[in-house]
Chains A and B, each alone.
Chain A
């Protein structure tokens, strides 16, 4: 079955925006609705659209890494962000925070929970894409 021209054109327009939105959701998650899980779902939707319109191969090319590796990296990040506190003597997964001064009156507070969330993002995105790409590839083969 050949994908429609409408789907292809719309995908080209939308995919980039969807991915930007997904990163936006990831970053705002701590203070407003969003977060790693939601962001990853949005990104997966974007990639799934590309997969349907242009084929699984083009998604793999765009990703550059195997989604399974993305999962592994996410797992490492989650466990790593938890282990960091173990080295300072607190229990596993205790949050640690750093204040980075940007300008005279602005601070960026960044902490291990962010990396935890980033790991969640990578695992969920990797997991869904692994499945979708495998399905799509099988369908393409007939």
Chain B
């Protein structure tokens, strides 16, 4: 198969794979009427019954709301990515990651069991890592991917602890069963730790201040990934969690104050930073921070309007932001740059993309007739209805939206209308599979703007009712009459227009402000990461300095110290009393056994003193073989067989390596002090093992365990060789762990050998 033919097949397969999100979208859409009526589907699998963990799913209004967003955008992103990545050598891998991410995300929003939710949560983190680092040959991609993984991964661990504490407080892992116990949790002593850990998880995932810095860096990912993961779905995982846990943990002053403050800071920070950016995707990334901040801030509320506003704005944001990211990808793909200073006059060349961007930007700016306008109206209604700090919430929402309006203006005017002639080379519109996505997503913003009440009834209300059951009904409409939200909208648009007109001075001011700040959280992250690296380097230099001698030293020393310590701690009455319990039972060994022992000792002495490599290897082999004989004589044929075989192989492997090395005579003879240390350590290890064997309460054969295995080996496991039956059946799980170690050691060893080969 030629390269073009195979890339053709991959493209077809990838295009066909878009049927997966599409099918799921329609399936979910058909469930909407039942869910809007207040029903919910449940489904559970036993997962780890011994830990009381069931893989239970709950499919309710909130789930279907997210499922529709994920699959709907997922469909267009898949179609888009086929053309975007056409000709890339690793397309197959990309689509695997993309769909695996999508399924993990679906699992996340449908999981009812906290442990299941956690697993899906971590899976989205992992696939996000793989997708950000998709261009793994670029250093920047790898660095950003690692940053995102470490930040969100750390949050994931916090979340795990939080879920474990919640289980302690309620006795269940199922979130739906925690809900009736909400009052108990809120008064429980663990409430505050739980809350802090949940916030850590949600804030890292949803890029809230001060964990926001990974998101703009994640723009190293291909455009479809940014559109899908880092604007519409994955980063919404954190706010999803806050919404899902709202009935369990929400409504307390700690919850409300934290969310409103953090959300407000993130929203303002993102909005202000966005204005100073020149990279199209960076601009969008910072406005995404704003969007996430506003949703967080609204989820801090306790009243119906603010929660409805959170879900409405989430939908608004997902629609316009994914459209904008996809459009930014088209601009990049067709012109070769994302720098808005070098773009201009693209309206004629990219008519469909321009139409999509205009629709999305007007929704983002919140102009009347667009869904964004409705989102903003309800947002102000929500912030004014916050129980805690409505003033701060409303101020930051207006302030951030003002900046967003200005940014929307820049995004529309700069690349598409102004600055004609900035691009010298001819630019052609992308294929239909690329522009259809942004156009439909942007157009949906207009469509939803014309039928807001339908959207409210079928999508928003069921989602809110799932986590905030209330009789109230919020009517989404274009015009509610002259009221405070409308006035605030006016203020916002005026502010946005003024900012747009004076954008040059505003950007200068922001740059000056950024210089004043002493340190940002990205620097703190770098500082911490470097610190860990330095500590690791220093310890490695001490205990693993590359000399095999040092390694053996460390291992033997650790063994002596740890084993000795456990003996001293373990015996209640002290080590010496344990000794006194041993009755001296000194007998001469049987003659044949004595002969074997003598042989072993002699061989050991030979290994130490010989100068010939071959003799040393052979003597080592004799020691092993002698031990095997002792095992055989003591009635352990299996052990003896294995010991003998391992010895044989060791001799062969050592022979392959050592025969090629120079003779030991040519080696430098160790210093006297070194020899003394070696001797001391050898004696210590020998004494330790002697001690262990002496203190081991070795019962006579035929103890309880032996009897169990003797009785059950044939009956239960159809085998007469007890040792083997234990290995492959009774203790199969242990064996599995051991052979995984064997495989990992082999692969690690090969990597080391191959690396040496490449170096030389």
Contact = CB atoms under 8 A, between A and B. Distances in A.
Interface of A: 1, 29-38, 41-42, 44-45, 48-49, 52, 68, 71, 74-75, 78-79, 82, 92-93, 95, 97, 109, 111, 113-114, 116-117, 119-120, 123-124, 126-128, 130-132, 134-136, 138-139, 141
Given A116-B732, A135-B656, A139-B660, A127 B746 contact: yes
B218 interface: no
Contacts of B428: none
Contact of A45 (B649, B718, B746, B753): B649
B653 A48 contact: yes
A38 B729 CA distance: 16
B732 A82 contact: yes
Nearest to B727: A35
B719 interface: yes
Nearest to B648: A45
Contact of B720 (A32, A131, A138): A32
| Complex A-B, nearest 6 residue pairs according to Cβ-Cβ distance, in ascending order | A127-B746, A41-B645, A30-B719, A31-B720, A33-B637, A113-B728
Contact of B724 (A30, A74, A78, A136): A30
Contacts of A97: 718
A1 B195 CA distance: 69
B753 A113 contact: no
A118 B728 CA distance: 10
Contact of A30 (B725, B735, B747, B757): B725
A38 B721 CA distance: 13
B641 A38 contact: yes
Nearest to A129: B746
Contacts of B642: 37-38, 41
A70 to B, nearest CB: 10
Interface stretch (B439-447, B537-545, B737-745): B737-745
Contact of B652 (A35, A48, A123): A48
Interface of B: 637-638, 641-642, 645-646, 648-649, 652-653, 655-657, 659-660, 716-721, 723-725, 727-729, 732-733, 735-736, 739-740, 742-743, 745-747, 749-750, 753-754, 756-757
Contacts of A30: 718-721, 724-725, 728
A57 to B, nearest CB: 15
Given A30-B720, A68-B747, A74-B739, 16 more contacts: A29-B721, A30-B724, A34-B641, A38-B638, A48-B656, A75-B740, A116-B732, A117-B724, A119-B739, A123-B739, A124-B742, A128-B746, A130-B746, A132-B656, A138-B757, A141-B757
Contact of B728 (A36, A48, A68, A127): A36
Nearest to B49: A91
A135 B661 CA distance: 13
B614 to A, nearest CB: 13
Contact of B649 (A31, A82, A126, A128): A128
A109 B720 CA distance: 13
A116 B739 CA distance: 11
Contacts of A68: 747, 750
A82 B731 CA distance: 12
A120 B739 contact: yes
B747 A135 contact: no
B618 to A, nearest CB: 16
A42 B645 contact: yes
Task: Say whether chain B's binding surface is mostly helix, strand, loop, or mixed.
Answer: helix
Contacts of A135: 653, 656-657, 753
Contacts, number: 141
B749 A131 contact: yes
A127 B745 contact: yes
A134 B729 contact: no
Residue in B648, B720, B724, B754 whose Cβ sees the most chain A Cβ within 10 Å: B724
A95 B135 CA distance: 45
B743 A136 contact: no
Contacts of B728: 30, 35-36, 113-114, 116-117, 120
Contacts of B717: 95, 113
A124 B740 CA distance: 10
A128 B646 CA distance: 11
A36 B745 CA distance: 18
Nearest to A122: B739
Nearest to B639: A33
Contacts of A31: 719-721
A79 B742 CA distance: 15
Contacts of B719: 30-31, 113
A37 to B, nearest CB: 6
A97 B740 CA distance: 25
Contacts of A35: 638, 721, 723-724, 727-728
Contacts of B652: 45, 48-49, 52, 132
A111 B757 CA distance: 44
Contacts of B749: 130-131, 134
B733 to A, nearest CB: 6
A88 to B, nearest CB: 13
A68 B748 CA distance: 12
Contacts of A141: 757
